[in-house]
């Protein structure tokens, strides 16, 4: 599920119902390495997400030019670059938050200037409320 270094998450749409993960791995392995493969089958639709690490710089463009729009196992394939996997995104965000927390703890050792609290009566409030008189 997690992306390897230099890998791209790819959406593969238009899969037939009989397509397996080994079929996809055999087909795309000539152009790169597949780290993770998720096949989703719902309501007669089949599609997959794969983390693809190309073997060369031009392998990714070759993958799209060869397989996007081609007929494979009786269905028309559709390949697109997909968003990052949500678990990989969460892990990346947690790592940056942890790094930020460490720097905040290190910065906490230095004394901070504490501001005094002032009451609302001391401050000039810019809020003025107008209540119209009711006619009787």
Specify the CATH number for the domain of residue 12. 3.30.70.330
- Determine which helix (DSSP H) or strand (DSSP E) holds 63, and give its type and residue range: helix 59-67
In a domain, 40, yes or no: yes
In a domain, 34, yes or no: yes
In this structure, what token pair is assigned to residue 56? 């060369």
Per-residue pLDDT, 106: 66
76-90 residues labelled b (16+ CB within 10 A) or e (exposed):
ebebeeeeebeebee
In a domain, 46, yes or no: yes
Q: Which domain holds residue 12?
A: 8-82
Number of structural domains the chain divides into: 1
pLDDT in tens, the chain (136 residues): 445 567 889 999 999 888 888 989 998 888 999 988 989 998 888 899 999 999 888 888 999 999 999 998 888 999 999 888 778 788 888 888 888 877 777 666 655 555 565 555 555 667 778 788 887 6
Question: What is the Cα–Cα distance from 39 to 61, expressed in whole angstroms?
Answer: 22
Question: What is the Cα–Cα distance from 15 to 4, expressed in whole angstroms?
Answer: 25
pTM of the model: 0.62
């Amino acid at each position: 599920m997690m992306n390897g270094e230099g890998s791209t998450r790819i959406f593969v749409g238009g899969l037939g119902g009989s397509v397996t993960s080994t079929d996809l791995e055999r087909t795309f392995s000539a152009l790169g390495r597949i780290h993770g493969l998720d096949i989703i089958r719902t309501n007669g639709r089949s599609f997959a997400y794969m983390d693809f690490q190309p073997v060369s710089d031009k392998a990714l463009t070759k993958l799209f030019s060869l397989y996007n729009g081609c007929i494979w196992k009786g269905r028309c394939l559709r390949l697109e670059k997909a968003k990052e996997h949500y678990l990989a995104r969460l892990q990346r965000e947690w790592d940056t938050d942890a790094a930020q927390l460490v720097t905040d703890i290190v910065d906490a050792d230095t004394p901070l200037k504490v501001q005094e609290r002032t009451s609302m009566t001391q401050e000039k409030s810019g809020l003025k409320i107008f209540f119209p008189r009711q006619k009787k």
